[in-house]
Structure 1
Amino acid sequence: MGPCRHPRSRARDEGLPGLSETRSQLTLDNAFGFLDSHVIADQVFHPALVSNANGQTMLKTILDELKRSRNFVFSVAFIAPSAVALLKQSLLDYRGTGTIITSTYLGFNSPAAFRELLNLDGVDVFVYPDSAAGFHAKGYIFEQESSTTAIVGSSNLTASALLKNQEWNLRFSALPDGDIVQQLKCAVQAHLDASTPLTRRWIDEYALTWAPQPPPLQGSTWVESTGDALPMGLIVPNSMQVEALSEIQALRDAGESRAVVISATGTGKTILSALDVRAYAPKRMLFVVHREQILDRAIDEFKRVLSAPASDFGKFVGSKKELDRRYVFASIQSLSRPENLREIEPDAFDYVLIDEVHRAGAASYRTLIDYLEPAFLLGMTATPERTDEFNVFELFDFNVPYEIRLQKALEADMLAPFHYYGVTDYVKADGEVIDQVADLSRLVASERVDHLVSTIETYGHAGVPVKGLIFCSKNAEAAELSQILNQRDVHGQRLRTLALSGKHSVEERELAVQMLERGELDYIATVDIFNEGIDIPSVNQVVMLRQTLSSIVFTQQLGRGLRKAAGKDHLVVIDFIGNYDNNYLIPIALFGDSTLNKDSIRKKIIDAQEAGAIAGLSSVNFDAISREKIFASLATTTLDSMSNLKKAFVDLKNRLGRSPLLMDFARFDTVDPTVIATKQKNYWRFLDKVGATDAPAGAFEDAVLTFLSVELLNGKRPHELLLLDKLLLHPVGVTVEDYQTALGVSGLDNDQATLNSVLAVLSLTFFTKAEAAKYGAVPVVSLDDGAYRLSEKFAMAWGADPVFQMHVRDVVDTGLYLARHRYKWSGELEVGQRYSRKDVCRLLNWQSNQQSTIYGYKVDYFSNSCPIFVTYHKGPDVSESTKYEDEFLNPSTLTWYTRSRRTLASGEVKAIVENQLPLHVFAKKDDAEGTDFYYLGRAKSQDARQTKMSGETGPDVVSMTLGLASPIESSLYEYFAASVAAIQGPVSMG
């Protein structure tokens, strides 16, 4: 090939649409980025350093660019299958064309990685030969309609490089005629000219000579899934286990004789317990399990840790009664028989371990535990919460020395990362969704099986042999499905599957598991026999072909594939989502969100789509229809029902051994304190409702607690809480100067407008008469002679009733905690957080609560502010005269309409059009979200014009664009812009 030539004036000759607008935008963005950060710019194309810091990961940046581009080229030396999995849903959703150029440099790219690349529809893949000069490129190029964006730096296409490694990558943009664009095109063409198209035959030939790279050394140890193994075979604890062992020992040193460890499935509970046994060095130990098939694996792991002779280990199960051994492993079924228990002296074992101890409410376990008298009793479980009223924590004297749930375990790299894909179940041409509520014949209909096989080919492993579990809704479905799948091919290979149910013997199940692990089976189809108590580390795919009825069961089934294993890069989870009312349980399980707060769950879904990843290197992806099904399910459910709240209350009470305070809910990250506190107006009322208090609050105390809970507990502004905190400690009063100083020291605004607002709230003058009456009609705080003081009536109630004191203190402490941990401790509006109209009135220092008269927006000259509230999707009951066509043009710009019967000459309109005062924009998708809106930030009005509602005959209205100070996150933008059709129902797939 000759020298690369630069085509001249392509953009001008071809007349690219929007080029003039893009030129202006890009000019300002580049001036902002390269010349002067004070330049006002949209910051859509501005140059940025992407270093995987402060939430701005390489993965998030790539996903953002894919959403706005029509063509991409990745030229990267190294690619890992896990990185392909992170990008898969976005590449499937991508409507443009794509090219990936990679290499065989240093043999890093495995045949598995190449097979995953070849499995990407609509992406052309080329391989740069290793025989040429070392290929070490790391460039990502995205072509938009009228511009080009590139990311060049240090990140290869691996999960760590995209998410957590310290990387330096520069993102920049240019116009089509820019010289850098031509240079990039020449560089890409040079790579393509030297490369070979990726084909199945090429991969097969490459696999014949490729050798896996050795793992990086870590001193004299290498990391295993549950601990560090020294070369001589001694298992030493990893960092998490060191912490756990230290806490267990500290508990024993304090004289405690019982403890329960809560550890997510796959995090090595057995190894941890074996390490503690090694540290304790008991004369004799008893290990109790509920399933016989777990015993042999447990014995193997204890042998590895304890390095004891085989003669020290014995079984007590069935006909085997090796009670004379030092370490005895027994099934609860054998132990709990009276004739067997009589053969054991109560103090025969000084250390007793009980696996899956959440089952200990059963009579068999209670009989055993009541009979034995060990010096130390340790229980282990991943799910201590129960539905049968049994309190696991009480059984162990409420001692929980160590707890690691799924999210924390993933972040600590204790589990294999997973990539979850929520996909729509089979949809017939008439729009009917065939899911588990259908009869058996339709569940295993040829079309649905075709859909299953196609989805597995798309989302499942293409590069390595699959070792999967398929969870079905019924045993008959599993059996029939297995027979049908055994006649189908995936990636050109005939499937090998087997169905298992409770009717199969232990031996049959064990044989099936061994066949799966040896690679003689691809899938085992079942209903629930693998929910717990089974360990198959090599499982790399979980298919959920049934409705999620319980977040606990969902997590248990997900956990079947989370154990690390040699050669296992990641777990793929494929969840077929139908029209279920309880689809909301899926994100609750995936994110470990037990807040019972819809806003919290909805935000986690949006944030996961934005970031592209969740805890550690895992990801959660929904196709467009499934995502809207989840949101629709969430909108219609009642999470904060009294039954749900009471269960959460009982769960935490069982954990603590006492009635929890609101602060306990916050510290243990369970139910959102604001949800449980305001369900009955205040928490004292809730306790009375569930029979957990001796007497209800008095009328005044009840009113005050309602005020504190409804208005201040959320922590959106800490100012009032800080003043109350100081006054409760200094009842004689706090001077204005001291309070101002305290605010300043805390980093909070302490100007006069804010002080006036705080006093208006605490004196109740901020509220309407009806609200003030509901809150007791008596100020909580007054200002006299330059000092704030508690009102006389409040002070008397505080001094007279210790229960009232406790509840007030609890609300104040919890509110301050939320202000620090949920918000940024500023008291100012935070972009991305949600606020009601009343919240906005308070945080903008309005003189009073005017939420009922805002009507979409209001100019408030008292505070010199104008909030604008946008409901993006109008309901069918909204009249045409008020159905404003507000619409995002891009993540930085919103077309917005004033109220009807307004002109450019209207006073309030003029103030907005001329930007006479700050404009604050808030938005929500629809009214099903409740009263709160996402704060999108400050905006500037521009391009105002006089027009009419509903065509030429409607009332006068003013239209304008609102330019946001910073673009909103792309996933939030997509959330607002999602079509109404997608919300209302699925799109036909056949």
Structure 2
Amino acid sequence: MDILERSLKKAFIDHHIAGSHYDQKLIINQPSNKEFLLNTLQTEISTCSDFFFSVAFITQSGLDTIKTQLADLAQRNISGKLLTSTYLTFNNPEVFKSLLAIPNLEVRISQRNGFHAKGYLFTQANYYSFVIGSSNLTMNALKLNYEWNVRLTSYENGELIQEISDHLVGEWHNALPLTPAWIANYAQNYQPVIQRKQLVPAVAEDKRPYIVPNKMQQVALKNLAELRASGEQKGLVISATGTGKTYLAAFDVQQAKPKRMLFIVHREQILNKAKASFMQIMADEPAENFGILSGNQKDTEAKYLFATIQTIAKPAYQELFAKDCFDYILIDEVHKAGAQSYLNVLAYFTPKFLLGMTATPERTDNFNTFELFDYNIAYEIRLQEALEEDLLCPFHYFGVSDYEKDGRVISETTDLQYLANKERVNFLLDKINYYGCSHNTPKGLIFCSRKDEAQALARLFNECGIPSTYLTGEHSVAEREAQIANLENGDINYIFTVDVFNEGIDVPKINQIIMLRNTQSSIIFVQQLGRGLRKDNSKDFVTVIDFIGNYKNNYMIPMALSGDTSRSKDRLRKGTFDTNYISGLSAINFEAVAKKRIFKSIDANKLDSMQGLKQDYSDLKKRLNRVPYLTDFSQQASLDPLVIANKFDSYYTFLVKIGDNEGTITEKQNKFLYFLSRELLPGMRQHEIVLLSKLIESDHTLSKQDLATLFTDGHLIHDTATIDSVLATLSLTFYTGGLKKAYAGAALVQQQADQVELTAAFQSALQNNYFKKLVVDLLEASHNKSKQFSKTEPLTRYEYQRRDAKYRRRDALRLLNWPEQMVDQNIGGYVAKDGKFVIFVTLEKGTDFKGAQMAYEDELIDNATMHWFTKSPRTLESKDVKKLQDPEHWTFYLFAKKSDDEGAEFYYLGEVKPQLQTIKQLEKPVRDGKTRNVVAMDLQLAVPLEMEFYEYLRKKIVNKTAESEKAPRVGYKF
């Protein structure tokens, strides 16, 4: 049956039929599952050779979501058309200007009354796809609103696609071309019927007579009151920039009612804003109760005193106040409190309550912010949660490729003459203008790597007619404030800077952040991103343009954006190709070349370096005020326990190496931990974890019937073959070769008649309480990881909700109840036994084929079909090929990985069926110049891959020359 026929039958006759990329689909935004219409549109654009959109309403934010995909198409000389309207004057002049800036998009304006279409059509490789429904090209429609849309597919001769195509041809020819003159005329007469929604700030504006706490502040205030009621004298609030920490502090002072308060900041320009915020909240207090203590002002008698650390840290000023003068002290940006000036102030004053506020408590100088506040975290909300709560302005992040000439790309060592020249400036401006900003008038910060670069680029921007300046640490506070005012007033468009604006600066009107530097740390990245996230009615969103060169630390970009500090390379790859994790109306997009540079950085860097692991360990220890264990890392969403456990023989070995072990165990006891870390900690099957936990907590023995009941009660698979496999794993009889030798003496269970019990050696080891603690901790961490895996199926397909589902070859065989492990080299590309045929594919094999004699050209044809080759030499009469021709008696399991750079683990793609009509015997060349027989075929996946995942696995970044030499595309006939 033809694939499209099969998809039509699946959609309208029998849903049990295997799917494919032709499948018809109902698309509904489901934010809780991170499923959006946006994902479908981005994928369709990325793979098409032509497109036509007919959409009534467009917003700048909606258009932004597809700009990187359109930019990638432009690199391949692919363009498309968009038909829109002025219906209800919804589309503002700014969005028409943004449309005109897209070089490979031709736009026309329909003259039809009541134009309200919402359709997206694509020419794909050998078929057409179209999405029709209720969604306009707006961010709300693409990500949040409850919308219904249907994706349909058709061949060129289909009647529906012909009707749509003919209709669009007529509409297109009757529409007006979008031109600068048309936009100017439209703008002159523009009077919107639908008023733009005003953003509600995370904190209220000055003109509001009455201010109430936002969601974050309400919870934090309750927690702070309870903290004081319990007798605690210190509290720490960790809150993302822009969520209203200063207002929170004012609300808490209002509820605590101190006799006198001291608010300490590290920069003088913050003082007046902080004082003004307090005066808004505490409007009943006389103005004279609020004062400033700084180099320029000395209101020492004020009830509510706002002081710079530089002034209050001086003994001469401290002596003006009694030690208990202030019963409430607040420290802003408290992660700086490790400096001696802060420590001196805190050593002098004895407040009844000390509040610290910061967005980033983590430090690299060994100072423990958490200890300073007695480990009392009153409230914590990071970037992702703040976006979910709608406390921040949405941001549109674009990871774009940096300037390249003669094969050289910007890197850490690039000379100034290459960083700051007219060619690079023209390149930057093309990208900046393309991605734009809210309302198209930039008020932007540009972060540079060097002072001379910032100065030179500001000069070159001015020469291009773009008013700009630069600020560094050498500029005075007065000069900084003056230039910030110029930016907010529109007198300049950009401030180039080096580090000065990382934190402590409040410029709500910033609508564009541009990054022209290597990402030095995820903390600094988030700090710089945060400069634009404060809500303001002058903007609908913040545009972030990150120019990504050949930087060693590019792997930190997905780490910072996703908040993933696991040090798992696989998770960082996923955070680059699948950006659904970002919440609300924000969006993250990478150009194809920028993705390639990030993947290169991930592959090249040693993320599990001892220095990095020690830093992560130290950070968590500071937060917990004790030695952290594997479960702590998983519960705190910190370092992936697998990374730290598998770097060494065990986590105990790591603790010994850094001198933080709280007890000692023997080498033999550590071998048990070595086995558990390698085989059970990944959590692929809960059975072993549940059984061991039960045996440890009980009398160390269970009957076989008890074992079946244990698994049944846990809703786990409990057939005899699975139970035997579990026991073979824990008794080590499954393992052979090098692993059998490595694990010798570490058997955990044994069978005696109908009884299952812990081995005598393991029972004896458990008498060591420290060893038992390490085992129980490891099992609990393993159980946490097992939540990513299915309880009712032996293997778990990779999908967004199961991002850790990967398997080594031996894992796959063990979970399919193989009685004995096979050495990886003996498995190679596949192995078959007892009706189970297991296939392992490396899609990008590299030029050396990793030792293979033949160039195997396995590839994903679409998200439901893999073209695959058997081992060689093979013919149609070979035993394994005969099994492949017998799908009635064999079940086929397909595993794949993108390349050997991803390590020894494979994604499970699901069950497949060889398409019998495609099985062919071929002759292919081998390295010695001869040929060998091999058999090729198509494998049909029972469940199609998620499109983002499919694109990641199959996509290879090719150079522009290769792209331009592709065969001419076939598109709509206009």
Q: TM class by shorter-chain length?
A: over 0.9
In 2, are the aligned partners of 1:228 and 1:237 still within 8 Å (CA)? no
Residue 423 and residue 647 in structure 1: after superposition, are their counterparts in 2 closer, same or farther (change >3 A)?
A: same
Asked whether the 8 Å contact 2:596–2:957 carries over to 1, the reply is no
User: How much has 1:548 moved relative to structure 2?
Assistant: 1.6
SS at structure 2 position matched to 1:559: helix
Aligned position for 1:276: 252
CA distance in 1, matches of 2:418, 2:44: 41
2:712 counterpart of 1:744: yes
- Structure 2 letter corresponding to 1:74: F
Q: Give 2:216's aligned amino acid.
A: M
Tell whether the 8 Å contact from 1:289 to 1:330 is kept in structure 2 after alignment. Answer: yes
SS in 2 for 1:259: strand
Q: Which residue of structure 2 aligns with residue 39 of structure 1?
A: 17
CA contact (8 A) 1:856 1:869 kept: no
1:244 to 213, 216, 220: 220
Aligned to 1:945: 920
Structure 1 residue aligned with 2:63: 84
| 1:734 aligns with one of 694, 698, 702 | 702
Contact 1:50 1:171 in 2 (8 A): no
Match of 1:113 in 2: 95
- Looking at structure 1, the residues matched to 477 and 143 of structure 2 have their Cα atoms a distance apart, in angstroms, of 42
What residue number does 1:902 align with? 874
Q: Which stretch shifts more, 772-781 or 678-687?
A: 772-781
Q: Deviations over 1:752-791 (max 9, x none)?
A: 1111110000111111254244334242112334332111
How do residues 348-497 of structure 1 correspond to structure 2 at under 5 angstroms?
348-428=325-405, 430-461=406-437, 463-488=439-464, 494-497=465-468
How far off its partner does 1:982 sit?
5.9
Deviation at 1:283, TM superposition (A): 2.2
Matched, 1:267 2:243: yes
1:194-343 alignment to 2 at 5 Å? 195-211=175-191, 224-227=200-203, 233-307=209-283, 308-343=285-320
User: What is the SS of the residue equivalent to 2:463?
Assistant: coil
Q: What is aligned with 2:28?
A: 50
SS at match of 2:400: strand
Paired position in structure 2 for 1:720: 688
Segment drifting more, 947-956 vs 802-811: 947-956
Residue 146 of structure 2 aligns with which residue?
A: 166
Letter in 2 for 1:934: Y
CA positional deviation for 1:605: 1.3
CA separation of 1:126 and 1:80: change in aligned 2, threshold 3 A: same
Contact 1:924 1:934 in 2 (8 A): yes
In 2, the alpha carbon distance for the partners of 1:879 and 1:713 equals: 31
| Pairing partner for 2:933 from 956, 959, 962 | 956
Partner of residue 584, structure 1: 555
Cα distance, 1:924–1:661 mapped onto 2, change above 3 Å:
same
Q: Is the 8 A contact 1:939 1:964 kept in 2?
A: yes
**Residue 51 and residue 553 in structure 1: after superposition, are their counterparts in 2 closer, same or farther (change >3 A)?**
closer
Cross-structure match for 1:558: 529
* Corresponding position: 1:572 with 2:550: no
- Name the CA shift for 1:229/1:583 in 2 (closer, same or farther; >3 Å): closer
TM-score (norm 2): 0.93
Given that 1:896 and 1:961 are in contact with CA atoms closer than 8 Å, whether structure 2 keeps it comes out as yes
Give the aligned residue type for 1:932.
Answer: E
Identify the residue that residue 6 of structure 1 maps to in structure 2. Answer: none
Equivalent position of 1:891 in the other structure: 863
> Do the aligned residues in 2 keep the contact of 1:228 with 1:238 (CA within 8 Å)?
no
Look up the SS of the partner of 1:265 in the other structure: coil
Map of 2:829 onto structure 1: 857
Distance (whole Å) between structure 2 residues aligned to residue 81 and residue 757 of structure 1: 56
Gap runs ≥5 in structure 2: 800-804, 966-974
Corresponding residue number in structure 2 for 1:525: 496
Conserved in 2, the CA contact under 8 Å of 1:540 and 1:571? Answer: yes
Asked if the contact 1:685–1:697 (Cα under 8 Å) also holds between the matched residues in 2, the reply is no
Shift in Å, 1:317: 0.5
Answer yes or no: is 1:977 the counterpart of 2:948: no
CA apart distance, 1:126: 2.3
- In structure 1, distance between residues paired with 2:499 and 2:858: 48
CA contact (8 A) 1:760 1:847 kept: yes
Return the offset for 1:411.
Answer: 2.4
Does the Cα contact within 8 Å between 2:645 and 2:677 map onto a contact in 1? yes
Range with bigger deviation, 738-747 or 396-405? 738-747
Q: 1:78–1:158: 8 Å Cα contact kept in structure 2?
A: yes
> Greater CA deviation, 861-870 or 542-551?
861-870
Whole-angstrom distance in 1 between the partners of 2:515 and 2:964: 21
The alpha carbon displacement at 1:92 in A equals 1.4
CA contact (8 A) 2:56 2:85 kept: yes
Kindly report the root-mean-square deviation, in angstroms, between the aligned alpha carbons of the 2 structures.
2.5
Give the TM-score normalised by the residue count of structure 1. Answer: 0.92
For 2:608 and 2:412, the matched residues in 1 are separated by 27
Give the distance between the partners of 1:113 and 1:629, measured in 2 at CA: 31
Deviation sequence 1:319-373 (CA, Å, 0-9, x none) = 4121222211110000000000000112212211100001111111011111111
Q: 1:760 aligns with which of 723, 728, 733?
A: 728
2:936 match: secondary structure: strand
Please report how far the alpha carbon of residue 162 of structure 1 lies from its aligned counterpart in structure 2 after TM superposition: 0.5
Deviation larger for 811-820 or 616-625: 616-625
Counterpart residue number, 1:4: none
1:914 alignment counterpart: 886
SS at match of 2:817: coil
Identity of aligned residues (%): 41
The separation in 1 between residues aligned to 2:537 and 2:330, in whole angstroms, is: 28
Hey, what's the Cα distance between the residues in 2 that align with 1:607 and 1:100?
26
Q: Tell me the alpha carbon deviations over residues 40-71 of structure 1, each in whole angstroms, 9 at most, x when there is no partner.
A: 34252324343436443110111122233333
| Secondary structure in structure 2 of the residue aligned to 1:499 | strand
- C-alpha separation in 1, matches of 2:691 and 2:788: 19
Of 790, 804, 813, which aligns to 2:758?
Answer: 790
- How many residues get paired? 950
Q: Is the contact between residue 689 and residue 779 of structure 2 (CA under 8 Å) also seen in structure 1? A: yes
Q: Secondary structure at the match of 2:51?
A: strand
What is the Cα deviation at residue 438 of structure 1? 2.1
Q: Secondary structure at the match of 1:560?
A: helix
SS at match of 1:726: helix
Equivalent in the alignment of 1:8:
none
User: Looking at both structures, which has the greater relative contact order when contacts are Cα pairs under 8 Å and sequence separation is at least 6?
Assistant: 2
Distance verdict in 2 for CA 1:864–1:144, change over 3 Å: closer
1:583 aligns to what SS in structure 2? helix
* Change in 2 beyond 3 A, CA 1:920/1:604: same
Sort the Cα spacing of 1:232 and 1:638 in 2 relative to 1 into closer, same or farther, 3 A.
Answer: closer
CA-CA distance at 1:244 after TM superposition: 1.8
- 1:10 corresponds to which residue? none
Q: 1:500 aligns with which of 421, 446, 471?
A: 471
In the alignment, does 2:43 pair up with 1:75?
Answer: no
Change (3 A) 1:75 1:252: same
CA distance in 1, matches of 2:776, 2:649: 17
Task: Give, as a single letter, the amino acid of the residue that structure 1 aligns with 2:610.
Answer: M
Secondary structure of the 1:584 match is helix
**Any unmatched runs of 5+ in structure 1?**
1-20, 489-493
Could you give the per-residue CA deviations for residues 77-122 of structure 1, whole angstroms, max 9, x where no partner exists?
A: 2211111111100111225332222222333222222221221222
> Are 1:645 and 2:625 counterparts?
no
Q: Secondary structure at the match of 1:670?
A: coil
Contact 2:577 2:595 (8 Å CA) reproduced: no
After TM superposition, the structure 1 = structure 2 runs for residues 575-974 of structure 1, keeping only pairs within 5 Å, are 575-608=546-579, 611=580, 614-768=582-736, 770-798=738-766, 800-821=767-788, 827-832=794-799, 833-862=805-834, 864-876=836-848, 878-879=850-851, 881-915=853-887, 916-942=889-915, 943-950=918-925, 953-974=930-951
Inter-CA distance 986–692: structure 2 relative to 1 (3 Å threshold): farther
Q: Which amino acid aligns with 2:514?
A: V
Q: Is the 8 A contact 1:921 1:936 kept in 2?
A: yes
The 3 A distance-change label for structure 1 pair 36 and 303 is same
The SS at the match of 1:242 is helix
Q: Which moved more, 1:391-400 or 1:294-303?
A: 294-303
- 1:135 corresponds to which of 107, 112, 115: 115
